[in-house]
Amino acid sequence: MIIRQDIWPKCVKDAFVTGFVLVIIPLIYYFELFIVLPRYYRQWSFTYDFHFMTGTFILFNLCANYVAIVMCDTSIKGRILRSGELLPNWRFCSACETVAPPRSWHCKICKTCILKRDHHCMFTSCCIGHENQRYFLVFVFYMFVATMYASYYNIHFVRDYLTFGSWTSIFKVIFPLAMLFMEWTESQLYVFFVIIVLAGGAFTGGLLWFHSDLMLKGLVSHDKDKKSKFDNGIRANIEVVLGEKWYLVWLWPWIESKLPCDGINWNEYMSDKME
Which residues are part of the catalytic machinery? Answer: 121
Tell me how far the alpha carbon of residue 10 is from its chain's centroid: 18
For residue 45, CA distances in Å to 41, 56, 124 come to: 7, 16, 36
Within 10 A of 118 (CB to CB), how many other CB atoms are there?
27
CB-CB contact of 82 with 90 (8 Å): yes
Cα gap 203→198, rounded to integer Å: 9
For residue 155, CA distances in Å to 183, 193, 264 come to: 21, 11, 48
Beta bridge partners of 121: 126
DSSP secondary-structure letter at 108? T
